[in-house]
Structure 1
């Protein structure tokens, strides 16, 4: 909802939705651990940060106690789950923050009576200690004059054992500072080692690559995801990343108002994913990994990004990429094929479907290769390539991938992509069903001569309700320390009152005329122009009428 609605309501509280999911994970040493995750829409009390955070912390404490009765050993809460996404501008953001002790200090906030320890930290620490489980939260951290979006991990003794500051401020809801370093962060438990991620981390190469190279196979992931259709819906992207990296992801999403926002994703195993359902719990056995030393993990890594941009949001609404920039062909027959090249990617499609079941449904083959990012990163220069079949609302291709009922059954699909393999890239199958679930498919890769790679994706069984089905590849440019960055967010001080360095302004100046993300705001200039024309026409009519009246008066006077 928009902040204006909150103002009208005084105290704005979303209907509380808390989705519980627990999974039993089996380690290589035959040990089990129960992981719990929550989808949660926080309470928000307008202009009252203290009460907002206290109310949400109370909910955390209650749910920690609840899952402890199910023998859960670790629980993950969403990004911005303590504050909500309704954060103020920079000058007032400090009121929503708290200081977080360095994990190296081995502090248990529950045991600290000092006023320097925030009440929320103390209470959650006590809940973790009392119920003997690990707790992962996200909050606004204050250090000197800087404000960070940070994940904080409490051990089963209530000790702060890990702190991870957000580095990529993509689709952000607050005017946070960027962490001075990107730190690959992990923490140890008696039942395994967990990497720490947040927000848009899975859209980037680091810090996940470093954590994976060190042997981390389990990740905790608070997230407030902004879906960009058709290839980056929250559930869809998390599942694809978990499968591509062959890891377990405990995803705790900020509730976005639709089902299947997250859950526990189990990599390539047949047992999963375990999706959150309101009021229901699910458990299963999965092969995990043994503990590893984290002494060599928590280190600064280089983020290979050419630009560090900031995109700020006001809500968790869906966005769409404008696919008119892609090469495309409408699927016109039940048996259709198409082969097309774009840049260094070549896509070949073979489809068998029954379009007589829904003659008005529009499906297209799409091919793309370039620097526009299909995940909605409007001003970030990462490259992507796509070979996909997508359902569109109209031939304008502005709102492709919108989930809705489709009666067209696809019997067989085969997509083949051939491209130049790069050192830094992420490849995955991206599928979306109109029931918000994945579409079963198999994908295999074959190395070809001359540094090329061939990937083939095949539909597993006949499927109605297809929304998106394809191979998506993201390749990362190497970091250029001499590149000029327009991101001045680190110039923010708590006393800042001018808006010259607003990240929103930075980002909009970076946009080109071929902006991919479509939103209602993109039509504002046309609406304003239309209104101006109407007003001008009305003025001309009024002037003409006035002249006619004056002329009649003059004639009458002369007579």
Structure 2
């Protein structure tokens, strides 16, 4: 059943000057990676507080705004978190922080959405296993896992409601192209259903035109 929608809603997009290490191609420890990302998340927190005071119902943060960009495949590794598929399970990282290890960024974003009572869209780096050993013919990378440029969406109570892997990469050696294009949507109580794309995706039929043909509003997350 479609949710009841208002005649109007308030959305905000934050343009962020990302804070990152001087040379992102040098690998760092998980603790150092978290310390770097928390600097950007601290700024996100301030902006979320401002947004909710202005009546914002959905807040969109930019591509690579949490960890930065220009990584190698190896150097981004400790910035990755394994993001569960919300189409397969229900998880609120803020209220269930112990369910998964190494999900500090997901927890921070979830609690941000919950505390400020708004839908929150952010971009981060996702680590997913792939069947290299069981299916050598698959598109699995030689190191045995996928690394995806990923949008996540949290509802106003902190529930993870959407996860989208960027399909059309733009000189992003740290990330993999998903094996199959994803058409990812999420519902809101104030504006109905939205679709997700990321930056360079906007130039391609999949997923952008498919979402338009479905009559969906789309949030485009891009570097700014």
Q: Offset at 1:209?
A: 2.0
1:42 aligned to 6, 15, 18, which one? 18
Asked whether 1:134 is paired with 2:119, we answer: yes
Match of 2:67 in 1: 83
Q: Which has the higher contact order (CA 8 A, sep 6+)?
A: 2
Match of 2:49 in 1: 65
Q: Offset at 1:117?
A: 4.9
Q: Offset at 1:195?
A: 1.2
Match of 1:92 in 2: 75
- CA-based RMSD: 1.7
Q: Which runs of 5+ in 2 are unaligned?
A: 23-27, 130-144
Secondary structure at the counterpart of residue 168 of structure 1: coil
Match of 2:185 in 1: 186
Q: For residues 91 and 85 of structure 1, do their structure 2 counterparts lie closer, same or farther at Cα, with a shift above 3 Å needed?
A: closer
Q: Which has the larger radius of gyration?
A: 1
Q: Offset at 1:30?
A: 5.2
Residues 49 and 96 in structure 1, CA contact (< 8 A), matched pair in contact too: yes
Q: Offset at 1:75?
A: 0.5
User: When the two structures are aligned, how many residues end up with a matched partner?
Assistant: 195
Q: Offset at 1:86?
A: 3.7
Residues 5 and 190 in structure 2, CA contact (< 8 A), matched pair in contact too: no
Relative to total residues, which structure has the larger strand share, 1 or 2? Answer: 1
Secondary structure at the counterpart of residue 128 of structure 1: helix
Asked whether 1:158 is paired with 2:134, we answer: no
Q: For residues 30 and 189 of structure 1, do their structure 2 counterparts lie closer, same or farther at Cα, with a shift above 3 Å needed?
A: closer
Match of 1:53 in 2: 37
Residues 184 and 211 in structure 1, CA contact (< 8 A), matched pair in contact too: yes
Q: Offset at 1:29?
A: 6.1
Residues 74 and 174 in structure 2, CA contact (< 8 A), matched pair in contact too: no
Match of 1:401 in 2: none
Q: Offset at 1:194?
A: 1.0
Q: What is the TM-score of this pair, normalised by structure 1?
A: 0.34
Match of 1:143 in 2: 128
Residues 44 and 86 in structure 1, CA contact (< 8 A), matched pair in contact too: no
Distance of 2:97 and 2:206 partners within structure 1? 38
Secondary structure at the counterpart of residue 44 of structure 1: coil
Instruction: Write out aligned runs for 1:26-425 (5 A).
Output: 31-46=7-22, 47=28, 48-87=32-71, 89-104=72-87, 105-114=89-98, 116-144=101-129, 145-172=145-172, 174-192=173-191, 193-216=193-216, 218-224=217-223, 254=224
